[in-house]
Structure 1
Amino acid sequence: MPGDTGSVREAQPVAQTAAKVKWAGCPEGTDIPPTQMPLVQCATVKVPLDYSKPKGKKIELTLSRIASTKPEKRRGIMLFNPGGPGGTGLGQAALMVEQGLPASVMDAYDLIGMDTRGVGFSSPVKCGFKADDPYNGNIPPFAVDEAAVAQRAKVVKAAAQTCANSPDAAALKQLTTENMARDLDQIRIALGEKKTSFYGASYGSALGAAYASMFPQRSDRIVLDSNVGDTHLNQEGMRRYGLGFEETFGDFAAWVAARDGAYGLGSTPQEVRENFVSTAERLDETPAPDGTNGALFRHYVFVGAYSPLSYGSRAQYWQSLLDPGTAAPAAQVAADANPLDNALTVFLAVTCNDSEWPSNVKAYQQAVAEDRERYPLFGPASANILPCAYWELGPEKEPVAINDEGPANILILQNQHDPVTPLAGGQLLREKFGQRSRLVTVDGSGHGVYVLGRNACASNVTTSYLISGKLPAKDVACPSD
């Protein structure tokens, strides 16, 4: 039964034979905020590339640490992951400190950031995508019709072949959420801790859900923020991007409408929505002088919906597209649309290795048609075909199953409106974990709740849990500030 720890299914650890972790300075070029660097130390831990061959080839994981300075208050370690998969996380703990992580949490834990396997400074892998490669983003472009899906299929098939032919192909096969969860436990062992706490956002919620499912008795206090809805990102999860943007666009539209005198994009949210659609359709037919087409415009506004702090830059750019004489931040748009080879590679490897994806182009054409009706603003993008349709390197296993047996130690945080991990993801995870979890929903908008979201209620609930270890008696609905 949920909550009965006597029958918990738990993965067995691989023996950790690495030498004692040696903390020192951090390598140049990390994502650690310079203002926090004096607090941070770095180290490496070796783990098996393939956990079915624990004595075989090892890879290095690079960690960062902001150590508690209050031994009398220190509880243990808390690991952090910012998402992706493929996002660099070496500076995640330091970034949250810079953004206002409460001192009580810093006192209670050594804060451990990391680049997960294959990412950044942790034995990085690459498919070999070039800057001008036709495949240049982990979110597919908006498909205007069936022909656009068929055309995209050619691009993603070539991308999958590029990865299969990469010198790093053997390492790519071992990029899974299950292996990353095993890596977390190897870090715990290497640091000499009996348990580990964890904060994960976005895809980091999937990694945390996998760890809490595989190692329930070694998980301490788990916070999952902005939730994918499972232990992996599959086609269903990707398609929820369309739902998320529909739910979040109204907040952006209301902000823009209130500033119609400044931007001239519509005086009501409905006018803004209609103008958004007409602008995108016009750019589908005739791209802007800077090369912005309808797909890129939709993507740029979608990414802007991650935070209300980005609304102004998106409205500014949209306004510039209506007046060709106005300077536009084209370089920023290009940067959003062209991830680095390493990040894109890891995203694809983990996403495609974790679960089976449809291999028939018609399945994606049908999904695009369905989501054009359900989520017309962005559904034909997130339902479009990915290289996973032609992936040759996996999956070799079923994805990690949610384990609802174990300690009640999972706090799920979720904004009501989130463009990429909508409320449905948090609700799904709450249902799957059952009495092991509680759900905190915030009447707010954007991607990220704790610290970044700055909601007083959610901040208080989360901090209280991290310090006391006591989940709320029931789910919590936080009002907007």
Structure 2
Amino acid sequence: MTTYAHRALLLTLSAAAVAGTLAAVSPAARAQAPGTTGPALAWGPCAQPGLPRQECAELPVPVDYRDPDGPRLTLAVSRVRSDRPAARRGTLLMIPGGPGEPGLPRLTAKGAALGKEMAGAYDLVTFDPRGTGGSSTASCALDADDRHLVALRPWPAPDGDITENLARSRRIADACGRHGGAVLRSLSTANEVRDIDRLRRALGEEKLSAWATSYGTYVGAVYAQKYPQHTDRWVLDSNDDPDPARLERRWLANMAVGADDRFPDFAAWAADPAREDEGLRLAERPQDVRPLFLALAAELDRAPKESATKGVPLTGNRLRQALQNTLQSDGLFRQFARLVRQAQDPAARPVLPDALAGPLPDAKAAVVLATLCNDVRWPASVPAYRRAVAADRVRHPLTAGMPVNVTHCAFWKDAPAEQPTRITDAGPSDILMLQNRRDPVSPYSGALKMRQALGGRARMVTLEHGGHGAYLANGTACGDRAVTAFLTTGRRPQRDVSCAD
């Protein structure tokens, strides 16, 4: 671990202590600053029911920014305007995760809670990134079997063989190359960042504040690197390693560590005597839950169990993927424990979580697949993937070699259009990072790499907690207070801190 990483671990503070160590950062940015120009947004009612005062619009952007007057696509944009004009200080942009997650549903789900925290300080704005939701989409025309999450995630065969993964990866890359077209080739972090700056100008803002989550933290970090003069108060929530040589490949690989970090939380919950009356106590001791899970997955490898979804059996890999999804939030523990119980019961037909019961929509699969490959070149050595899977299965049996396995990116038809952005400490010190210590998707070890890259530009609040997506979700009251204070007052901790409540 670097000297800097050690410094990031120095201090553990209570919520009150965090609040007591705040210091002022950048002054307020006012909306409608002189010189901000962009395409007009025609706001109107949203197609889907949303929040009171929620409006929607469409933003035209170039398919290819190297040809700014060429073909266009449209982005779905939504906002909830501040109901306290005297308190308003600007626009807070919600940058969604993924890749492949739209922003508009998140504003609908989180807007009321976020608006309460902000107390009128901002118009709340978000967008569906190109390829997602109500924005222009692309297609790879994949067969339904190749769009199941358990297929898109490269789970090896029960014995670790990757032959089927290789065939599927080649098939997916070929389909995307034949059917995707210019829009699919445009799905990248670099273009999402350009789209955000075009949205900023359309909003008439000289500067934006932002709350970015998960993959959105990398988008947000790249924006802050490319357009530092247009950032105001910047929150990066649930971060991962921004190494430009590896990017999404490293993020996937890091999930093995993240699962190991997080699983003890589920094990403690599943062994708690409080689960007894619900029939969901899986073991008497937390240390017995892991071997129980591994044995059950191996049993399902040998003999998949018919589920309540016709034609979609509960396999060992579906159980493993269900666990990966579950570890993101304590609120999902009960559903997964019930699935385990049903898998153990010879008379039961397990009820699969919705995310595993059917294929992803073609457009969503396409944007996830394309962004992974358009950002950075992936290695193509098949023997190297075989070796990596064999070693990772031993080190991290919960994920069984999936995070380092071959993907379609090894056979992608088009090289990345540009070099990834290197995140550095150049720019204003206006970033607050929020990170759960036991994040299964964006593990703490990767977040420290982002923290190191940002240097003096950032402070990090580490939460002694588990789950993915911390602010107003799977974090702590201490973390919520730190983010709210930063966004509403401009103050943040004077140094990196940790808090447990």
| TM-score normalised by length of structure 1 | 0.91
- Paired residues of 1:244 and 1:419 also in contact (CA < 8 A): yes
Return the alpha-carbon distance in structure 2 between the equivalents of residues 134 and 448 of structure 1: 25
Cα distance in 1 between the residues matched to 2:281 and 2:417: 53
Which residue does the alignment assign to 2:191? 179
Contact 1:142–1:382 under 8 Å retained in 2: no
Q: Give the structure 2 partner of residue 61 of structure 1.
A: 75
After superposition, give the CA deviation of every residue in 1:346-395 in whole Å (9 maximum; x if it has no partner).
11111101011111211211221221222221151111211101011231
Partners of 2:255 and 2:353 in 1: CA distance: 25
Structure 1 segment 290-369 matched on structure 2, within 5 A: 290=307, 291-330=313-352, 332=354, 334-335=356-357, 338-369=359-390
Question: Measured at CA, do residues 51 and 94 of structure 1 come closer, stay the same or move farther in structure 2, by a change above 3 Å?
Answer: same
Question: Distance in 2 between the 1:70 and 1:135 partners?
Answer: 45
Quote the residue 2:110 is aligned against.
Answer: 96
In the alignment, is the contact (CA less than 8 A) between 2:96 and 2:102 conserved in 1? yes
| Change in CA separation of 1:413 and 1:317 when aligned onto 2, cut-off 3 Å | same
Q: Secondary structure at the match of 1:65?
A: strand
Of the structure 1 ranges 363-372 and 401-410, higher mean CA displacement relative to structure 2 is found in: 363-372
What amino acid does structure 2 have at the position aligned with 1:126? Answer: S
| Corresponding letter in the other structure for 1:281 | A
Q: Secondary structure at the match of 2:138?
A: coil
Question: What is the aligned partner in structure 2 of residue 216 from structure 1?
Answer: 228
Counterpart in the other structure of 1:277: 294
Distance in 2, matches of 1:186 and 1:106, equals 27
Tell me by how many angstroms 1:19 deviates.
4.1
1:454 Cα deviation after fit: 4.9
Corresponding residue to 2:437 among 416, 419, 431: 416
Change (3 A) 1:105 1:138: farther
For residues 419-468 of structure 1, give each alpha carbon's deviation from its aligned partner in whole angstroms, at most 9, with x where no partner exists. Answer: 11111122111100000001111011111110112511101111111012
Question: Which one has more relative contact order, counting CA pairs under 8 Å at least 6 apart?
Answer: 2
The residue correspondences of 1:29-48 to structure 2 (distance < 5 A) are 34=49, 36-48=50-62
SS at match of 2:250: helix
- Relative to structure 1, the CA distance from residue 238 to residue 19 in structure 2 (aligned partners, 3 Å threshold; closer, same or farther) is closer
State the AA in 2 paired with 1:78. Answer: L
Letter in 1 for 2:41: V
Structure 1 match to 2:284: 267
How far apart, in 2, do the equivalents of 1:104 and 1:359 lie?
A: 47
Query: Where does residue 25 of structure 1 map in the other structure?
Result: 45
- State the distance in 1 between where 2:137 and 2:119 align: 29
Give the aligned partner of residue 5 of structure 2.
none
Task: Structure 2 unaligned segments of length 5 or more: list them.
Answer: 1-34, 308-312
Letter in 2 for 1:219: T
Alignment match, 1:85: 99
**Contact 1:172/1:393 (<8 A) preserved:** no
Q: 1:162 aligns with which of 160, 172, 175?
A: 175
Corresponding residue for 2:23?
none
Preserved contact between residue 156 and residue 165 of structure 2 (Cα < 8 Å): no
Long gaps (5+) in structure 1: 1-14, 29-33
Cα deviation, residue 330, structure 1:
2.9
Residue 403 of structure 1, CA deviation: 3.0
Q: Retained in 2: the 8 A contact 1:256–1:263?
A: yes
Identity of aligned residues (%): 36
Q: What is the CA deviation profile of residues 136-176 of structure 1, one whole-angstrom value per residue up to 9, with x for unaligned ones?
A: 554222444452x122110111011110010x321111111
1:402 alignment counterpart: 423
Question: After alignment, is 373-382 or 138-147 more displaced?
Answer: 138-147
Matched position secondary structure for 1:471: strand
Report the equivalent of 2:409: 388
Q: Deviations over 1:113-151 (max 9, x none)?
A: 11001112111111112323376554222444452x122
How far is the alpha carbon of 1:293 from its aligned partner? 0.9
Quick one: distance in 1 between partners of 2:36 and 2:386?
Answer: 47
Judge which range, 218-227 or 19-28, deviates more: 19-28
Give the match's secondary structure for 2:46.
coil
Counterpart contact for 1:135–1:159, Cα < 8 Å: no
Q: The residue matched to 1:406 in structure 2 has which SS?
A: coil
Partner of 1:51: 65
User: Shift of residue 324 of structure 1?
Assistant: 2.3
CA distance in 1, matches of 2:479, 2:317: 35
Give the whole-Å Cα distance in 1 for the aligned partners of 2:243 and 2:218: 4
Cα distance between partner residues in 2 of 1:333 and 1:134 = 11
**Higher deviation after alignment, 205-214 or 324-333:** 324-333
Q: Against the structure 1 CA distance between its residues 126 and 106, is the aligned structure 2 distance closer, same or farther, given a 3 Å change threshold?
A: farther
8 Å CA contact retained: 2:172, 2:408: yes
2: distance between equivalents of 1:313 and 1:38? 32
Equivalents in 2 of 1:346, 1:110: separation in Å?
28
Cα separation, 1, equivalents of 2:292 and 2:409: 34
Is this contact kept in 2: 1:409–1:471, CA < 8 A? no
Contact 2:36 2:205 in 1 (8 A): no
1:327, distance to aligned residue in structure 2 (A): 4.1
**Structure 1 residue 398, shift from structure 2 partner:** 1.3
Residue type of the partner of 2:222? A
Q: Which amino acid aligns with 2:416?
A: P
Q: Match of 1:189, as an amino acid?
A: R
Alpha-carbon distance in 2 for matches of 1:123, 1:16? 25
Counterpart of 2:488 in structure 1 is 467
Question: Residues of 2 paired with 1:219 and 1:255: CA distance?
Answer: 41
Decide whether the 8 Å contact of 1:205 with 1:227 is kept in 2.
Answer: yes
- 2:163 is paired with a residue whose SS is helix
Q: Which amino acid aligns with 1:294?
A: G
Q: Secondary structure at the residue paired with 1:125?
A: coil
* 1:396 Cα deviation after fit: 2.1
Judging changes above 3 Å, is the alpha-carbon distance between structure 1 residues 426 and 134 closer, same or farther for their aligned structure 2 residues?
Answer: closer
Look up the SS of the partner of 1:71 in the other structure. coil
Note the aligned Cα RMSD (angstroms): 1.9
User: Matched residues in 1 for 2:147 and 2:236: separation?
Assistant: 34
CA distance in 2, matches of 1:314, 1:151: 27
